[in-house]
Structure 1
Amino acid sequence: MYVLGIDGGGTKTTGIVADENGKVYIESHAGPSNPNTLTPDEFEEVLKGLTADLEKQDSVIFSQLAVCFAGMSGAGDSWRCDAKFEQVLTKFLPPQIEVIVRNDAYNVLYSETLGKPGIVQIAGTGSISFGLNHENKTVRSGGWGYLFDEAGSAYHLGNEALRAVFKNYDGRGPETVLTEEIINYFNVSDVTDLLGKIHGPEHPRSVIAQLAPLIIAAAENGDGVAAKIIRKACAEIMECIESCHKKLFAADHPTLVVLSGGVFANSQQLLDCLRELSKKTLPNIVLRQAHAAPVSGAVIGGLKAMGFNSIDENITERINLQLKKS
């Protein structure tokens, strides 16, 4: 039996066809598929191109697909949206296939827990906390978009840094090396020139998120303002994790919390801060950085839908070894 697993995000979309043993038969990549940043026609074209390429590579296996599990950025906010995503995918897949669309946080969680309960905290360009318990109850915290709440995300770090730079320029805040670092990054001569760079052809969210490594580096090198930004981000991330945990598990439950995204990959200081905070509020949780490819979690989601309750513990490693480097 074959499963189509899809991992759709704001940067790229990956689809693989695999079996219950983790053998990958077909793999394809396409552009971003976050419906919040694409028109309906653009969203449909991405999925059409992805599925067409998969079918082109092996039409026989493609025709025998049993389940498609798609973890998509922007999904999961309402059942109506998910139903629309499923309708779009169904148009390009074999008629017998079961199509399941979930938020891409499912992929990350399943890739590390093999479909078992836990919490995932994503902190990339955006952020979200997502959890699943033994009763299959799911909750989320944060991730309400960059205008409102993306605690601990790269955008959040960059935005806080710019606020600090502007306040310092006005004389309302302390000095920080972030001023020089950000001026140099944008290749301008003065703080007043920054707005033109931020409000350019690229979406400000993406531009601001790209500043995150500067804040992380400045904090690691002892800048007080940058360190404060990291501590604040850490506290807000912990609040989101606590919110999910409280709604899903007993206070002393040894829950696995998966940490995923570039912010965690690049900031040891934030990881250390998070571990210290967790000891005070949720001492029994286990924090683990994600290592498996999220698309492997989509395959696991498909296998669960097919009734596979016992997943081979080596399946994600097996899938990872077969994936193309892209």
Structure 2
Amino acid sequence: MNYIIGIDGGGTKTALKLADSDGKLILSNEGGPCNINSMGKEYVQKMLKELLEDTLNKSEITMEDIRVLCIGTAGVDRPDDKKIMEDIIRGTGYNGKVVITNDAETALYGGVGGNEGVILISGTGSICFGRNSEGETKRAGGWGHIIGDEGSGYYIGINAINRIAKGYDGIEEKTIMTDLILEHLNLENPQGLIQFVYRSGAGKSEIASLARLVDEAYKQGDTIAEEILLRAAFELFLTAKAVIDYLKLNRKECSLAVNGSVIEKNECVSNEFKRLMNKNYPHIKVINMKNDAAWGAVLMGMNN
């Protein structure tokens, strides 16, 4: 029997789903981060090789039984990047058909359950991707944490650090976030944030993880935390707006699926984003993903 593997390569973890040719889920599995820009080619190849080998062993099939492998991951938008990812996959020992695309496209397939619609992702990073009934596509965001990723967990975390520093310097009032984040990081004072950000080896995932503490401060009535979260929601709305307007979906009945820890679990960000969408695009329904991005990769693989 022929099988399809769908992979959602995230910045924090990689999700894999194995299905048979009839679209029946056989196995789900997980691995480490999959972004070639932040983790490097060697790490990603080793991680994927181990993940594939573990999946094949658990399902008692061989590489030759896999008809197509579809992977959606950040950092593969350019042809050169896709070639690197294909070389990585070939390096795992897999020689069958490969479909390589951005993780936003596989998320769209899984999220809206069809070709037309929009997917907004806000977790460690942020990106929006959409497709209309004519097959046109549009992406906004996804520039990475140094250039962009507005409205993401990293955006919230780094803005929190910035506002803590301003409060410490007396530029603006102090924030509840100071005590919450310093305790979480086991730091004695805000100056320790310099070590954390610049010298400790902390990456975007570690800074993004501070977003939940910003949410906690907001729930305790911190106005600066609220300001950061409302701005994050507005940035996500602007990103979605660029996609919706370009694809002329603003007057159509369609779905915008949301995915990621920030847009799904942060109540302030989620509610404000939905309010802005309902006010400006009442015909577009904001929904949770119907299926995850790894299953979206399976669907793409089946279509290819």
TM-score, normalization: structure 2?
0.91
1:94 & 1:186 partners in 2: Cα distance?
Answer: 42
Task: State the AA in 1 paired with 2:19.
Answer: A
SS of alignment partner, residue 38 of structure 2: coil
1:166 & 1:268 partners in 2: Cα distance?
Answer: 25
Q: Is residue 41 of structure 2 the alignment partner of residue 33 of structure 1?
A: no
For residues 275-286 of structure 1, the aligned pairs below 5 Å read: 275-286=274-285
1:181 & 1:60 partners in 2: Cα distance?
Answer: 49
1:20 & 1:181 partners in 2: Cα distance?
Answer: 50
Return 5+ residue gaps in structure 1 as ranges: 306-326
Q: How many residues align?
A: 303
1:42 Cα deviation (Å)? 2.1
SS of alignment partner, residue 66 of structure 1: strand
Q: Deviations over 1:4-26 (max 9, x none)?
A: 11121222223332124432334
Q: Is residue 231 of structure 2 the alignment partner of residue 235 of structure 1?
A: no
- Give 2:258's aligned residue: 259
1:65 Cα deviation (Å)? 2.4
1:90 Cα deviation (Å)? 3.6
The answer on whether the counterparts of 1:51 and 1:93 sit within 8 Å (CA) in structure 2 is: no
Return 5+ residue gaps in structure 2 as ranges: none
Rate the CA distance shift 1:93–1:139 in 2: closer, same or farther, 3 A: farther
- Give 2:136's aligned residue: 137
253-262 or 57-66, which moves further after superposition? 57-66
1:94 Cα deviation (Å)? 5.4
1:131 Cα deviation (Å)? 1.2
1:241 Cα deviation (Å)? 0.1
The answer on whether the counterparts of 2:127 and 2:142 sit within 8 Å (CA) in structure 1 is: yes
1:133 Cα deviation (Å)? 1.8
- Give 1:87's aligned residue: 87
For residues 293-308 of structure 1, the aligned pairs below 5 Å read: 293-305=292-304
For residues 180-199 of structure 1, the aligned pairs below 5 Å read: 180-199=179-198
1:257 & 1:93 partners in 2: Cα distance?
Answer: 37
For residues 140-159 of structure 1, the aligned pairs below 5 Å read: 140-159=139-158
1:256 Cα deviation (Å)? 1.0
The two structures, once aligned, show a CA RMSD in angstroms of 2.1
Task: State the AA in 1 paired with 2:45.
Answer: E
Rate the CA distance shift 1:107–1:250 in 2: closer, same or farther, 3 A: closer
The answer on whether the counterparts of 2:69 and 2:301 sit within 8 Å (CA) in structure 1 is: yes
- Give 1:70's aligned residue: 71
SS of alignment partner, residue 121 of structure 1: strand
SS of alignment partner, residue 67 of structure 1: strand
- Give 1:179's aligned residue: 178
For residues 26-65 of structure 1, the aligned pairs below 5 Å read: 26-58=27-59, 60=61, 62-65=63-66
Rate the CA distance shift 1:183–1:203 in 2: closer, same or farther, 3 A: closer
Q: Deviations over 1:100-130 (max 9, x none)?
A: 0011112222112223211111111111111
1:44 & 1:232 partners in 2: Cα distance?
Answer: 37
SS of alignment partner, residue 239 of structure 1: helix
SS of alignment partner, residue 120 of structure 1: strand
SS of alignment partner, residue 139 of structure 1: strand
Q: Which runs of 4+ in 1 moved over 6 A?
A: none
SS of alignment partner, residue 172 of structure 2: coil
- Give 1:160's aligned residue: 159
The answer on whether the counterparts of 2:196 and 2:202 sit within 8 Å (CA) in structure 1 is: no
- Give 2:217's aligned residue: 218
1:65 & 1:10 partners in 2: Cα distance?
Answer: 25
Task: State the AA in 2 paired with 1:178.
Answer: M
Rate the CA distance shift 1:114–1:188 in 2: closer, same or farther, 3 A: same
Q: Deviations over 1:231-281 (max 9, x none)?
A: 111111000000011111242122311111111232112111112111232
